[in-house]
Structure 1
């Protein structure tokens, strides 16, 4: 069974580039080192948002918390189960 874990965060005003840099330099290496990881991707979106999607063969590992003051609100997290692959 493959699980997709999504992590989405909105940066505090004017700190989108810092949040993206933190995700690239801290969150990605932390997730990449975890057992059961199949794939991980990092995205940006309008509104100073950063999205990390990781595919897991086992229990998803959590994304570390960004530094205080970097976020406009707490990060959102969702886990999905793959039901069909094409």
Structure 2
């Protein structure tokens, strides 16, 4: 699970610092994960979060759940040249 802890501007995008926590872990993973959103996209996410009175994290999680099956249809990039896909 990701919990967004900080949003800060970077060049041309926003960085969201996220703490990851596995469902079976009692302690959160202390490594940080940065998610980059173009300013316009982050503004849309913020507007939707305000409209629904939800957190940015909740909006992004719902978007992932909705889009997950479509994204899985994208072709993968196979970096291992010895593996041949059927």
Normalising by structure 2, we get a TM-score of 0.28
Normalising by structure 1, we get a TM-score of 0.28
| Greater helix fraction, Structure 1 or Structure 2 | 2
